[in-house]
Structure 1
Amino acid sequence: MNTLSVYRFKQWLKEGDTPLASRLFRIAKFIRHFELPTPRLLNKFFYGLHKTLTTQWQAIVHLFFYLPAFKGRLNSYGKRTLLYGGIPFFSGPLIMNIGDDCRISGQTTFSGRTNSTNPTLNIGNNVDICWQTTIAVGNNVIINDNVRIAGQGFLCGYPGHPIDPIERALGKADLDIQVGDIILEKDVWLGSRVSIIGNVTVGEGTIVASGSVVTKSLPPFVLAGGNPAKVIKKLKIEHSKAIKEDISYEA
């Protein structure tokens, strides 16, 4: 029975006005929605068993497969690396170095520009890079200590395509003038879905609001947001230092 025949049969069951179609449709719904009348305590037991087994399995796979494979792609790495949710996707000739106590989601992408010489990503100590973040390295991206990058962040050091539409249609690569470095200084916090374009430095302790697009450098200890991102207000240095002390060794 091909796909079209199956579709027509389903339509006949749903819309047929014959007693046979109605009866078969009720039987199909009963089978589809059938469930065992399990007691609440048994349900809790199964859920607890599921969580225990999956957690242990994830820990084993992380320790004996994901983490060693991830380290095998790095140029250098520090101690106590936590990789969760699989292995990041790598593309291009990227050189990647990470420090101690870094936490990196496996649902991330790291790329290096093919036409650059030794595109390098340097990550300091105690850095969080959350899920679905993409870091595209043109020449250099530097992420300093205690930086937090929330989910779906995008650090764009190169665009991948030329500006000229004819060259773009021909599949030519981007130009060197389109490539820029990105520097996140210590204690920077990027909210979710923040995009940073090349030739940008985000100053120490600065917080960038969710959904912002950073096209120009930001000073230290400010709250910035918008598209393009602008300084919203200055952060008190004393408050920023307190935050720094609180999160320096955050688990």
Structure 2
Amino acid sequence: MDMLGSFKLWLKHDSSTLAKTCHNCIRKLMQFSFPVIPFVHAFMLKFHLFITHLFASFLRIVYWTPLFKSRLITKTNNLYLYSGMPLVLGHLTIEMGDNCRVSGISTLSGRSMNGQPSRLVIGNNVDINWQNNIAVGGSVIIEDNVRLAGRVFLAGYPGHPIDAQERAAGLPDHASQVGDIILKRDVWLATGVSVMAGVTIGEGTIVAAGSIVTTDLPSGVLAGGTPAKVIKSL
């Protein structure tokens, strides 16, 4: 063990007065912060936020958004891409409409379907928020005006087979485990919702936070739970 590591162990575990005194002094030094100077630090904060926002906007306009648009197979207008660029994995084509807002802290992945790419179709005026994971097995269709809150998971394919020996051998999932997902117009999935393969959610339906949708949901309802059930009509 190096000298620094030995010193840290001595500080933490030695019961002597010297070790305790040194430990307390070091903790006070680590917790020290410069006193707040009214007006000065308030101005510095505003300046810091202005500069970071300006730099983030510059990157979004001239770097992240053009890069992501080059990945699409359709032309999209008024795309607002924030917090970087989504991670795109696998064999996937992406079609996107106009006036969409997409978090860069999201993952879009596709499963190869007999050598052909999976297909992600995003309509007009769609929100895809932070930490969304859209796994496309076949196709995922997100129609106009859909809202996906944070940490939504569209699980079009699992990525691994059910059989443990096949998983250990690194074999891919089976076609029977894969299914399309369709979110009709005006659907709203709240925070933490998961939608399983083969599910269609009807127009205008809202799914409550933390729900897992395993079967189709009709139009115009509020649904929730694990698995998600219809709670009431809207």
Using structure 2 for the length normalisation, give the TM-score: 0.93
Work out whether 1:87 is the aligned partner of 2:69: no
Distance apart, 1:30 and its partner CA: 4.1
* Whole-angstrom distance in 1 between the partners of 2:180 and 2:81: 26
* Whole-angstrom distance in 2 between the partners of 1:69 and 1:51: 25
Work out whether 1:45 is the aligned partner of 2:70: no
Distance apart, 1:22 and its partner CA: 5.0
Q: SS at the partner of 1:73?
A: coil
* Whole-angstrom distance in 2 between the partners of 1:108 and 1:37: 38
Q: Which runs of 5+ in 2 are unaligned?
A: none
Preserved CA contact (<8 Å) 2:154 2:194 = yes
Equivalence map 1:19-34=2 (5 Å): 19=18, 21=19, 24-34=22-32
* Whole-angstrom distance in 2 between the partners of 1:37 and 1:234: 56
| Aligned-pair Cα RMSD in Å | 1.6
Deviations 1:10-50 (A, max 9, x none): 2333545244x455445433432333234121121111111
- Which residue of 1 is the match for residue 150 of structure 2? 151
* Whole-angstrom distance in 2 between the partners of 1:28 and 1:103: 47
Work out whether 1:175 is the aligned partner of 2:178: no
What residue identity is the alignment partner of 1:172?
L
* Whole-angstrom distance in 2 between the partners of 1:141 and 1:194: 16
* Whole-angstrom distance in 2 between the partners of 1:12 and 1:163: 50
What residue identity is the alignment partner of 1:212?
S
Preserved CA contact (<8 Å) 2:92 2:118 = yes
* Whole-angstrom distance in 2 between the partners of 1:47 and 1:165: 54
Cα gap change, 1:120 to 1:12, in 2 (>3 Å): same
Cα gap change, 1:39 to 1:92, in 2 (>3 Å): same
- Which residue of 2 is the match for residue 97 of structure 1? 95
**Whose helix proportion is higher, 1 or 2?**
1
Deviant stretches of 4+, over 4 Å = none
Q: SS at the partner of 2:40?
A: helix
* Whole-angstrom distance in 1 between the partners of 2:96 and 2:70: 13
- Which residue of 2 is the match for residue 239 of structure 1? none
Q: SS at the partner of 1:122?
A: strand
- Which residue of 1 is the match for residue 64 of structure 2? 66
Q: Which runs of 5+ in 1 are unaligned?
A: 236-251
* Whole-angstrom distance in 1 between the partners of 2:24 and 2:133: 48
Deviations 1:172-228 (A, max 9, x none): 111112111110000000011111111111000000001111111110000001111
What residue identity is the alignment partner of 1:13?
L
Preserved CA contact (<8 Å) 2:69 2:76 = no
Cα gap change, 1:164 to 1:31, in 2 (>3 Å): closer
* Whole-angstrom distance in 2 between the partners of 1:85 and 1:91: 18
* Whole-angstrom distance in 1 between the partners of 2:197 and 2:83: 28
Equivalence map 1:1-251=2 (5 Å): 2=2, 5-14=3-12, 15-19=14-18, 21=19, 24-116=22-114, 117-235=116-234
Q: SS at the partner of 2:39?
A: helix
